[in-house]
A = this chain, B = another copy of it.
Amino acid sequence: MNRIEFWFEFASTYSYPTAMRIEAVAEKSGVQIVWRPFLLGPVFRKQGWDDSPFNLYPAKGAYMWRDLQRVCDRQGLPFNKPSAFPRNGLLAARTVCRFADEAWVPEFVRQIYRANFELDLDISSRDIVSQCLVSLGQNPEEILEKAEDAESKEKLKQQTERAEQLGIFGAPSFTVDGELFWGNDRLEAALEWAGGVQ
């Protein structure tokens, strides 16, 4: 089956509408998704940024929030500007990295994005991540103990390094073999590149 790798960061604003729609859109195209969380922090630091470019460049940031509202409106997706931005999605990213093949992962990803961009909850909090796991019928203690161990830390570190090697500089991104697509707007082009049904 054809597949795309979906590279996302839980703090990333435009990754929210993508995360909420990608499974349905990919299924319709007959393309499989590989969920690839990574961290934008190290990627941005190499570009000389110690914060989100949306905070460092206020005109771009102001536009992004307005545009994101319009994008969510068009998608029929609830959106509330988070009271803190960017939020640290480290624990959630390690969780997805460690349990990548589990059936509950796609819904967990959506729950974390909803927590951040719909419900304005602090996704860096262990409690919030636990609540998302509980809502999926999972055992948070068992899962988070593993998500916080050395193996999970190393997995996410390596995945972030692989993102950089693939030329990824922002999120959401999609790769199809070596071909890179960046932005929620490029999901359809990436699926087409993967041989998806149009």
Contacts and interface: CB of A to CB of B under 8 A. Distances in A.
Contacts of A63: 167, 169, 180, 182
Contacts of A28: none
B67 A167 contact: no
Interface size band for A? 20 to 34
Interface stretch (A54-62, A109-117, A125-133): A54-62
A59 B185 contact: no
Contact of A167 (B62, B183, B189): B62
Interface string A160-186: 000010011110000000001111011
A198 interface: no
Q: Is the interface of A mostly helix, strand, loop or mixed?
A: helix
Contacts of A167: 59, 62-63
Given A57-B47, A185-B185, A66 B169 contact: no
A155 interface: no
Interface in A65-118: 66-67, 70, 74
Given A63-B182, A74-B189, A183-B185, 19 more contacts: A47-B57, A47-B59, A57-B169, A59-B164, A59-B167, A59-B168, A59-B169, A60-B169, A60-B170, A62-B167, A63-B167, A63-B169, A63-B180, A66-B180, A67-B181, A67-B182, A67-B186, A70-B189, A185-B185
